[in-house]
Structure 1
Amino acid sequence: MERVRVLVVDDSALVRKLMSTMLTCDPEIEVVGTAPDPFIAREKIKQLNPDVLTLDVEMPRMDGLTFLENLMRLRPMPVVMVSTLTTAGADVTLRALELGAVDFYAKPNADLAASFGDSAQELCAKVKHAALTRPKARTTVRPLEVAPRLTADAVLPRSQAPGSRGGSPIIAIGASTGGTEAVRVVLEMMPPDAPSILVTQHIPAAFSGPFAARMDRCSAMRVCEASDGQPIQQGTAYIAPGSHHLLAMWDGAKFVCRLHDGPPVNRHRPSVDVLFRSLAATAGASTIGALLTGMGDDGARGLLELRQAGAATLVQDEASSVVWGMPGAAWKLGAAPEMLPIDHIADRLLALAHHPHHGAKRA
């Protein structure tokens, strides 16, 4: 079986060793080399022809963003950024995703004894999925096998009857790998008076605030990181904090954001399934749900629950997705009747909000 060939680029010898050790735990991955800076990395890319690059940001002689920009122009290849979980690290990482990086991974440290297995599993999964984003699909790469996962039941029991609250429509969006850019494309196309939008993007806690601030700068809507009890209002988009599930709940006379620190669902907190389930139970047919690019299947069952509650639903198409895992799983479940490229999704969401045409509920 052909293995995914990885080149690790980082100025820290300790980090290079840790990353290499974690990657070589997976028999489907081969670390073909390491490099302490972009100049050496450039030569090793020519010599070794790796499938995937893991790339640090702060390095001597040339920073990672400059190298990434040059690489994507001259020799596009899958890149997983290695980031620090800080505000500054979040801003740089989001810029790297704009420049073409496939995904990001929190930089390991020397105190990994307690979490080494989980960290290695996460890194290997990201690298293997990055390899699949190459123009020529690598059919030999299989998804990482994982233990059984919790469902949305762990946070919010499924309602026996769909929600029927009237009023203004609410748009709900879920995304993961590649989603920071996909969400940006959607929010950039929204007018300032667009329906309220709730976004669950798989993202570390340190990144969700800077991500919301970045989206606020590029959208005519107001974009903020959601807070508990915050009223859901037209013209505002609410980003789930990276440490909590985001739910929409009815509070007497209005919908409000509720944050829940329950266990990860589908290995994620925030989970898209939790957001979608909360809207199926409260807003029902007043919801428009969209599932964008992402690894795994979080949100697929939740989108089906929304459709069964009478909501309009759609997914991003495979061609424009970085990873067609989540939207692909939803499509195969029959959770959405429409599949659209990312550039068309904002217009369709607005059209559905202004002229609802919800399909019949499905058993």
Structure 2
Amino acid sequence: MAPPRIVKVLIVDDSAMVRKVLTMGLSSDRFIQVVGAASNPDTAWQMIQALRPDVITLDVEMPEMDGITFLRSFLPKARIPTVMISAHTRDGAQTSMDAMEAGAVDIIPKPALGAGLASGLPAMMADICARVRAAADAHVVLGRTRPAAPQRPAAPVISRGPGGGEILALGSSTGGVQALGTILPMFPHDCPPIVIVQHMPEAFTGPFAARLDGTCTVHVREAQDGELVEAGTALIAPGGKRHMELDRAGRGYRIRLVEGPAVCFSRPSVDVLFNSVARLAGANAVGAILTGMGRDGAAGLLAIRNAGGRTLSQDQDSSVVYGMPMAAWENGASEAALPLDDIPARMLHLLGTRTSRPEIRA
């Protein structure tokens, strides 16, 4: 088996300290080579042409030209996977959503340069290195036009099925912001409840959910501990600190946000959510794994299938990173691998045929 290739990285950030921290941290990985560091977009564009990096890390906020404007200017000319470095602020999160829609493949929180940097830096940089390596294999997808704001029905949504037991579950990571932004508007306003884990930093999932809520006929929001899971609603697990699980609430479900160690290097973890869906919903569930690096969700999707639920994964051609979907295919968890745009209709169809014989994979 061939060793992993060396990933050439260009760092673009107006802060000399951040450039230094990222250069030292990324260079500590033997499979990453920092080929340059630029303090402004003009210098960065010259380096892009001269050095041909495999990945760019790009500061969201720069004084001369903001990162989004620069991203939109160079990406059509040089489709280099770009990881955005963003501050832990609401404005930073909103801007990061713009970056993901424009074609960035991932978001990384900017290292905090205050007290405690030394103690927390190794773990932080290990995560950053892993995500930069994953980005090197990403397929860059240029931004799509955002759909117009939906017209939701005035009447309240009524839960479908006896006891409201039907549920849809989605898991995604790298590339998932674009993937969810593409497929969630395809679900009808009265569809069964949707629960989602998208790997994102803390404080980013709230703005992400709000952005999606403006483009979907289902209501999209960041999940809260104890809230009921309702039809016509998509709930996204808060990033960063806790896992999200389903809990029983009468004949339906409620959300539980629980403490616990990272699972598959992730918190929240798709596996944790999917395992709870398998336990509680069983044959009333349809799960799907979307684009992302690593294996998170493969074991949980298999649990859903073994419990009688139906399961899908995104195919390689439409995935930004074919890691999580590949793992779900290889362990037998996924019944079918589909193009991204086909997944919503198939999930809804499978709810109507959930007691039929599972498809036989080719």
What's the TM-score, normalizing by structure 1?
A: 0.88
Which residue does the alignment assign to 2:199? 202
Q: 1: distance between equivalents of 2:178 and 2:127? A: 21
Shift of residue 234, structure 1, vs aligned partner: 0.8
Give unmatched runs, 5+ long, in structure 1: 136-164
Indicate conservation of the 8 Å contact 1:9/1:53, yes or no.
Answer: yes
The equivalent position to 1:51 in structure 2, one of 43, 54, 57, is 54
Indicate conservation of the 8 Å contact 1:312/1:359, yes or no.
Answer: no
The equivalent position to 2:122 in structure 1, one of 117, 125, 131, is 117
Shift of residue 226, structure 1, vs aligned partner: 1.1
Indicate conservation of the 8 Å contact 1:297/1:326, yes or no.
Answer: yes
Give the aligned residue type for 2:126.
Q
Indicate conservation of the 8 Å contact 1:312/1:358, yes or no.
Answer: no
Which residue does the alignment assign to 2:86? 83
Kindly indicate whether residue 263 of structure 2 is the aligned counterpart of residue 260 of structure 1: no
Shift of residue 60, structure 1, vs aligned partner: 2.5
Q: 2: distance between equivalents of 1:257 and 1:308? A: 23
Secondary structure of 2:76's partner?
Answer: helix
Which residue does the alignment assign to 1:307? 305
The equivalent position to 1:130 in structure 2, one of 124, 130, 135, is 135
Shift of residue 344, structure 1, vs aligned partner: 0.8
Secondary structure of 1:30's partner?
Answer: strand
Which residue does the alignment assign to 1:36? 39
What do residues 204-248 of structure 1 show as CA deviations (whole Å, max 9, x unaligned)? 221111111111111000111111221111101111111321111
The equivalent position to 1:322 in structure 2, one of 306, 320, 323, is 320
Shift of residue 190, structure 1, vs aligned partner: 1.0
Q: 2: distance between equivalents of 1:134 and 1:278? A: 32
Kindly indicate whether residue 25 of structure 2 is the aligned counterpart of residue 27 of structure 1: no
Indicate conservation of the 8 Å contact 1:307/1:361, yes or no.
Answer: no
Secondary structure of 2:101's partner?
Answer: helix
Indicate conservation of the 8 Å contact 2:107/2:200, yes or no.
Answer: no
Kindly indicate whether residue 283 of structure 2 is the aligned counterpart of residue 280 of structure 1: no
Which residue does the alignment assign to 1:97? 100
Deviates more, 1:339-348 or 1:109-118: 109-118
Shift of residue 192, structure 1, vs aligned partner: 0.9
Which residue does the alignment assign to 2:147? none
Shift of residue 134, structure 1, vs aligned partner: 5.6
Give the aligned residue type for 1:244.
R
Evaluate the alpha carbon distance shift between residue 220 and residue 361 of structure 1 in structure 2; reply closer, same or farther with a 3 A threshold: closer
Q: How does 1:167-246 map to 2 (within 5 A)?
A: 167-242=164-239, 243-246=241-244
Shift of residue 52, structure 1, vs aligned partner: 1.1
Indicate conservation of the 8 Å contact 1:196/1:236, yes or no.
Answer: yes
Indicate conservation of the 8 Å contact 2:108/2:201, yes or no.
Answer: no
Q: 2: distance between equivalents of 1:323 and 1:54? A: 17
Indicate conservation of the 8 Å contact 2:83/2:135, yes or no.
Answer: yes
Which residue does the alignment assign to 2:335? 337
Indicate conservation of the 8 Å contact 1:249/1:257, yes or no.
Answer: yes
Evaluate the alpha carbon distance shift between residue 81 and residue 276 of structure 1 in structure 2; reply closer, same or farther with a 3 A threshold: same
What do residues 148-205 of structure 1 show as CA deviations (whole Å, max 9, x unaligned)? xxxxxxxxxxxxxxxxx96441000011111111111111111111111000111122
Give unmatched runs, 5+ long, in structure 2: 141-161
Evaluate the alpha carbon distance shift between residue 358 and residue 105 of structure 1 in structure 2; reply closer, same or farther with a 3 A threshold: farther
What's the TM-score, normalizing by structure 2?
A: 0.88
Identity over the aligned pairs, expressed in percent?
48
